[in-house]
Chain A
Amino acid sequence: MPRPTRRQALVTIAAGISAGSLVRPQQYTPATLTVDEHDLLGLVVDAILPETETPGAREVGVHSLIDEDLAAGSPTLETLRAGLASLRDEQFAEMDEDGRTGVLRRYSAGEGQARAFFELVKGLTIDAYYSTEVGLVQELGYQGNTYLQEFPGCTHDHELADPA
């Protein structure tokens, strides 16, 4: 059975993405975070997984998905809130891309609360982004969970040479 190329798959998928599977951030009312926290989180997730050939995390609504999953009163929420508060104090939202990258790099290389916040948001962003149709299918090219008559397996055996 011929398999679709990545490009064919993407064209098919792009045509088939239903509007309902995306969270539209501008229409989303945060359930757990405040509106300001939610907006700021949108900037952070977008710095972690920005727009490339495919949409970035903010456009996909990753910050809203994270809010949706947060349980009130959880330690996760406390870490997240504390980190967002310190980003607000640093005027993260007012910075340009380089400025935001610099702050997050400092957090990721740091210790204690800053590092914990960065690792938390990075993990939540990865989980949420790559669970969306944009992240999993459009960006990564996932073709699974379908019905196949035969499982073709690896068809480019001869090409898989060891690297030089």
Chain B
Amino acid sequence: MTADHDAVIVGSGAAGGMAAWNLTRQGAKVLVLEAGERFDPATFWSHVKPWEGRERRRRGQRPPAFEELPLRESPYQTLEGHSFLLRRVWGVGGKTNIWGRVSLRFGDLNFSEPAIDGWEIPWPVTYGEIAPYYDNVEKLIGVCGGEDDSRFLPGSQHHLPPPNLRCGEVVLRKAAEKAGHTVVRGRRAVLTRQHRGRAPCHYCGACGRGCDIGAFFNSPDYLLADAFATGRLELRENAIVSHVLCDDEGKASGVRYFDRLSGEERTLAAKRVVMAASAIDSTRILLNSKSSAHPNGVGNGSDVIGRYLCEQFRFHVYAFAPQLLGRPATNDDGISGGHIYIPRFEGPEQKRDYLRGFGIQLWGIGCGNNAGFAKRMDGFGADFKRSVRDRYPALIQLHPYGEVLPYRRNRVSVDGTPPDRFGVPTIRIEYRLGENERRMVPRMYDVVEEILHSMRAEPLPYKRGDLDELGAAIHEHGTCRMGEDRTKSALNSFMQMHEVPNLFVVDGSAFPTPTEKNPTLSILAFAWRATDYLADQMRSGNL
């Protein structure tokens, strides 16, 4: 069996798209295997009003089911009493088709903190090493944002203009600043003006249903299209990869996959394999790839793969801004999601009883396309109805995101039952918060309440201490982490396996700790850096 391509990439989302883009432009011939199919932007329900959606459903039409395929093809289990919401998109572009677009650089503090506080392993990369890649990514994909720069959130010279603030954001910013907090412009991978030939956002507010014109970063439009244009990319859809195959020396020699449509098992040879199937699905494949050289799963002599699952925990508080009660409704769609952000503001030098920290996201402010908030208001009848109308433009929301430390016990294994329809073991997730997170929660609620008090907001009922379902942040990390110490990590700083030099893992599983920030911008930067290294190694004949 001979390999037709210089590299086989598993997955086509942010990480796989970046790997394909960066390798093909440097001359490599690449095959991308994607478990799902292409989503056609012409079928997105971006401009379907709620009542039109109902009409369409009556006629039997449905919007693209972005998240349906993995649940059907690869269900997962959790421990009883410990739920974990795993949201995945199988299909070309993966989650970048519908992602939240928050694009926050990890800062020097994020990278240095694990070494300072000793939990768990240090990052093998400094901010200075990754900063040029942040620059490159921002220039490539277009990120709007402000001119702020702090050690909690490093600035950028490349931001597109930020969108104007909604009324509720003006009020909220004033209140938070009065309470002593820094409020910055949101940083979002949305084009607020034309960028590299792509049309800007038209502020329809429906990003979560997929963008019909590709005005926010997504892998198919921004990465795969360029890669195809080189003539060096082959993309195979409906290819559910199950195993990385290894030769007797333990080097990666190919992959096994199942054709989703025919059900046939196929094997292909590979000179180099780049895993980019998203944290948990890449981990599943690695753990299932047992061989004589790798009895514990490929590259897992250290027994760290699958362990240290970490992300962010969060909660949501809803309130009404008295300054906006009863005002005429406005079009608050903007770029959908927050135009402002409250970055983390406490570091190791502050006296606290927990490590790391949290930032506060502020989406869902103002007039939306529903009045779900009314369900939590008391009463009914004509006065209630008028009260709902008065509050509709005044809705504000605070969403703190806290870092969950990596714990060895929080893990993904392939002990799920039953196996998938091809007989391949499925995922089981064991995940719990620890003492550190529990200590952070009261502080998060305190800060939220300070801001609410400062604007004299009228909160909807909430219970201090309540948290969103774990996993809901959709930022899984840690299960195939990079590090200097090969007994405690699976990858080096270039996301190359310590034990298998021709196998790279370039998705979020490689991050040793999640930080309090959304990861996609960082995944793109790290995948770019890793595949620069891979391309160098190929050119110099080392790989």
- Using CB atoms and an 8 Å cutoff, list the residues of chain A in contact with chain B: 3, 5-6, 20-21, 47-50, 52, 65, 68, 101, 104, 108, 119, 122-123, 126-127, 130-133, 135-136, 139-154, 156-157, 160-163
Contacts and interface: CB of A to CB of B under 8 A. Distances in A.
Interface of B: 47, 49-52, 54-55, 58, 163-167, 169-171, 174, 202-206, 322-324, 328-335, 339, 367-372, 374-375, 379-382, 384-386, 388-389, 392-393, 455-456
B330 A162 contact: no
Contacts of A144: 204-205, 331-333, 367-369
Contact of A162 (B329, B369, B380, B455): B455
Contacts of B165: 153-154
A90 B388 CA distance: 29
B323 A126 contact: no
Contacts of A135: 371
A146 B322 contact: no
B329 A133 contact: no
Contact of A163 (B323, B379, B380, B384): B323
A133 to B, nearest CB: 5
Given A65-B54, A140-B389, 5 more contacts: A123-B375, A142-B369, A144-B333, A148-B202, A154-B165
B386 A145 contact: no
A133 B322 CA distance: 27
Contact of A140 (B170, B371, B375): B371
A15 B379 CA distance: 32
Contact of B333 (A104, A126, A136, A145): A145
Q: Is the interface of A mostly helix, strand, loop or mixed?
A: loop
Contacts of B331: 3, 143-144, 146, 148, 152
Contact of B170 (A65, A141, A142, A157): A157
B51 A141 contact: no
Contacts of A108: 379-380
B204 A126 contact: no
A125 B204 CA distance: 26
A143 B367 contact: yes
Contacts of B166: 153-154
B63 to A, nearest CB: 14
Nearest to A148: B203
Nearest to A44: B380
B370 A131 contact: yes
Contacts of B374: 126, 130
Given A148-B203, A160-B171, A21 B55 contact: yes
A160 B167 contact: yes
A163 B456 contact: yes
B206 A140 contact: no
A153 B164 contact: yes
- Scoring B54, B170, B171, B455 by chain A CB atoms within 10 A of each residue's CB, the highest score goes to B54
- Scoring A122, A123, A140 by chain B CB atoms within 10 A of each residue's CB, the highest score goes to A140
Contacts of A161: 323
B375 A122 contact: yes
A140 B395 CA distance: 13
A122 B190 CA distance: 37
A127 B373 CA distance: 10
Contacts of B381: 47-48, 50, 101
Q: Which 9 A-B pairs have the closest CB atoms?
A: A153-B164, A141-B329, A130-B371, A131-B50, A154-B167, A6-B328, A143-B331, A148-B203, A48-B380
A143 B331 CA distance: 5
A149 B456 CA distance: 34
A160 B385 contact: no
Contacts of B332: 144
12 contacts: A3-B330, A126-B371, A136-B50, A136-B369, A141-B392, A146-B331, A146-B333, A147-B203, A153-B165, A154-B165, A162-B456, A163-B323
A65 B53 CA distance: 13
A122 B204 contact: no
Contacts of B170: 154, 157, 160
Nearest to A17: B51
A150 B381 CA distance: 38
Contacts of A126: 371-372, 374-375, 388
A52 B334 contact: no
A154 B49 CA distance: 23
B51 A132 contact: yes
A123 B370 CA distance: 12
A152 B164 contact: yes
Contact of A141 (B169, B323, B367): B367
A131 B56 CA distance: 14
A150 B334 CA distance: 9
B348 to A, nearest CB: 35
